C-alpha cells in the first residue's frame, strides 16, 4: 500500500512507524494551502468502521511563513525564497515584539574576481607561449627541408622528428611577434576606459622582476575587491569602456587587447600574402627555367645527333679507305 500511494500522483508521502505503530501522511506541497484528505474512492479501507479500523488521527495543517522585512510583511508558502537578489531562509519562529534580526546586505564580488583571475591567467599563458617562441633555438642550418628522395628513405617518426627540429626557432627574434608581446603588455600600462588610470588602479600589474611572475601579469585580489566594492562601474569602464573605434585612452582593456591582436593579424596577413607572392614568382621562375633547360637540352640533343651521324659516316668512310689500302 505504501508503494502504491507514494508512487501515485496524490501529492503525498506515506510512512509507517514501528515504534508508534502508526502511519504518517505528509503533503508534498508547503504552506497554508497544503492539505491532506483521506477518503475511500472504492472499497471500505479507511474510517473507524473500515476494514483496517483506522479512525481519525492527529492532524497538523501547514502554515505560510510570515516575516516583516524592513517594515514590509512578506508571506510565502516556503521558508526559503529570494527577493531583490537576497535569499532568505527561515529556521525558527521569533517573537516580533522583542526578537529582531539585523543584517547588512553587501555584494559578493568573489565570482567577478575569479573571472578576472581566469582571464589574466589565460593571457599569461599566451604571453609565456609567445616568449618561448621568441627565444626558441634554431636548428635551420643542421636540419634543412627534406627532399622527396630523403623522405623515401626515412620512417614517418624520423620525418616527424626531423621536421620538428627544422621548424624550431622559426619565430626566434621575430619582430612582429615581439611587437605583439610589447603591445599586449602595454595595454595594462596605459590609461583605459576613459578612467584616466591604468590597470594597476584595480590591482592588475606585472610581477616583480626577481620572482617567478617576472614579465607576467599579477592580480592583487584585495585591491581588485576593494575597487569593485567602492565603485563597480569604474572597474566595468576599465574593462569594457569605450569602443574599438574610440581613442586609445577611452578604450577599455578588452578593446585595447583586441586592437593589438587585430593589428598583429593584419601585419602577419600582409607578410603571408607577400611571401605567397614571392613563392608564386619563384615557381614561375622555376617553370620558366625548366622550359629553357628543356629547350636547351633539345637543342644540344639535335646537335649531338647530327654530330653522331657525321661521325658514323666518317668512320664508315675511313673504314672503306682503309680497306682500299689493305
Shared-domain flag, residues 125 and 212: yes
User: What is the mean predicted confidence (pLDDT) over 292-307?
Assistant: 86
Return the higher-pLDDT residue of 100 and 280: 280
Structural domain includes residue 139:
yes
Structural domain includes residue 238:
yes
Q: Identify the pLDDT of residue 124.
A: 93
Domain boundary residue, one of 269, 302, 321: 269
Most confident of 119-133, 276-290, 311-325: 119-133
Measured between alpha carbons, how far is 9 from 37 in angstroms, rounded to an integer? 14
Q: Identify the pLDDT of residue 77.
A: 80
Shared-domain flag, residues 16 and 77: no
Shared-domain flag, residues 237 and 92: no
Q: Label residue 82 by pLDDT band (50, 70, 90).
A: confident
Shared-domain flag, residues 157 and 243: yes
**Residues in contact with 94: Cβ distance below 8 Å, sequence separation at least 6, in sequence order:** 100, 101
pLDDT at 264 over 70: yes
Cβ-contact 11, 28 below 8 angstroms: yes
Q: Identify the pLDDT of residue 25.
A: 74
Q: Identify the pLDDT of residue 251.
A: 93
According to DSSP, residue 172 is labeled T
Q: Identify the pLDDT of residue 60.
A: 59
pLDDT at 165 over 80: yes
Q: Identify the pLDDT of residue 2.
A: 74
Q: Label residue 271 by pLDDT band (50, 70, 90).
A: confident
pLDDT at 254 over 80: yes
Structural domain includes residue 299:
no
Most confident of 95-99, 288-292, 314-318: 288-292
Cβ-contact 249, 190 below 8 angstroms: yes
Shared-domain flag, residues 162 and 92: no
pLDDT digits (tens, 9 = 90+) for 172-221: 999 999 999 999 999 999 999 999 999 999 999 987 656 666 778 999 99
pLDDT digits (tens, 9 = 90+) for 35-77: 666 666 666 666 666 656 566 555 556 678 888 887 788 888 8
pLDDT digits (tens, 9 = 90+) for 5-24: 777 777 778 787 777 777 77
Shared-domain flag, residues 263 and 117: yes
Over the chain, what is the mean pLDDT? 83
Measured between alpha carbons, how far is 204 from 218 in angstroms, rounded to an integer? 6
Q: Identify the pLDDT of residue 244.
A: 80
Shared-domain flag, residues 158 and 263: yes
Q: Identify the pLDDT of residue 222.
A: 94
pLDDT at 288 over 60: yes
Shared-domain flag, residues 79 and 166: no
Shared-domain flag, residues 169 and 260: yes
What is the residue-wise DSSP string for 203-259? TEEEBPTTSTTBTSEEE-HHHHHHHHHH-HHHHHHHHH-S-TTS-GGGS-HHHHHHH
Cβ-contact 106, 94 below 8 angstroms: no
User: What is the mean predicted confidence (pLDDT) over 136-140?
Assistant: 89
Shared-domain flag, residues 57 and 82: no
Residue from 7, 40, 6 nearest 23 by CA: 6
Shared-domain flag, residues 91 and 154: no
User: What is the mean predicted confidence (pLDDT) over 242-252?
Assistant: 88
Whole-model pTM? Answer: 0.59
Domain count, the chain: 3
pLDDT at 158 over 60: yes
pLDDT digits (tens, 9 = 90+) for 83-109: 877 888 888 777 766 667 777 777 888
Domain enclosing residue 52, as ranges: 1-63
User: What percentage of the chain has pLDDT greater than the value 70?
Assistant: 83
Amino acid at each position: 500500500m505504501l508503494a502504491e500511494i507514494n508512487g501515485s500522483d496524490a501529492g503525498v508521502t506515506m510512512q509507517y512507524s514501528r515504534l508508534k505503530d502508526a502511519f504518517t501522511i505528509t503533503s508534498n506541497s508547503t504552506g497554508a494551502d497544503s492539505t491532506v484528505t483521506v477518503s475511500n474512492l472504492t472499497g471500505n479501507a479507511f474510517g473507524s468502521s473500515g476494514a483496517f479500523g483506522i479512525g481519525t488521527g492527529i492532524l497538523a495543517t501547514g502554515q505560510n511563513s510570515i516575516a516583516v522585512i524592513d517594515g514590509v510583511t512578506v508571506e510565502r508558502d516556503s521558508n526559503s525564497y529570494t527577493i531583490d537578489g537576497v535569499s532568505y531562509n527561515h529556521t525558527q519562529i521569533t517573537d516580533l515584539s522583542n526578537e529582531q534580526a539585523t543584517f547588512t546586505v553587501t555584494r559578493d564580488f568573489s565570482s567577478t574576481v575569479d573571472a578576472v583571475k581566469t582571464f589574466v591567467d589565460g593571457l599569461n599563458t599566451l604571453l609565456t607561449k609567445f616568449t618561448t617562441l621568441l627565444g626558441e633555438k634554431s636548428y635551420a642550418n643542421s636540419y634543412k627541408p627534406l627532399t622527396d628522395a630523403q623522405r623515401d628513405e626515412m620512417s614517418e617518426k624520423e620525418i616527424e622528428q626531423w621536421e620538428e627540429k627544422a621548424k624550431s626557432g622559426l619565430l626566434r627574434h621575430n619582430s612582429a611577434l615581439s611587437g605583439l608581446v610589447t603591445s599586449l603588455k602595454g595595454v595594462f600600462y596605459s590609461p583605459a576606459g576613459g578612467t584616466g588610470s591604468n590597470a594597476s588602479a584595480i590591482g592588475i600589474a606585472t610581477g616583480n622582476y626577481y620572482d617567478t611572475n617576472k614579465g607576467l601579469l599579477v592580480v592583487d585580489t584585495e585591491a581588485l575587491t576593494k575597487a569593485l566594492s567602492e565603485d563597480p562601474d569604474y572597474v566595468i569602464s576599465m574593462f569594457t569602456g569605450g569602443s574599438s573605434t574610440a581613442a586609445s585612452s577611452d578604450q577599455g582593456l578588452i578593446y585595447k587587447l583586441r586592437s593589438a591582436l587585430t593589428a598583429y593579424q593584419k601585419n602577419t596577413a600582409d607578410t603571408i600574402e607577400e611571401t605567397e607572392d614571392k613563392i608564386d614568382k619563384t615557381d614561375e621562375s622555376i617553370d620558366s627555367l625548366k622550359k629553357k633547360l628543356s629547350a636547351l637540352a633539345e637543342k644540344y640533343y639535335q646537335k649531338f645527333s647530327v654530330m653522331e651521324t657525321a661521325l658514323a659516316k666518317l668512320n664508315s668512310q675511313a673504314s672503306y679507305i682503309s680497306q682500299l689500302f689493305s
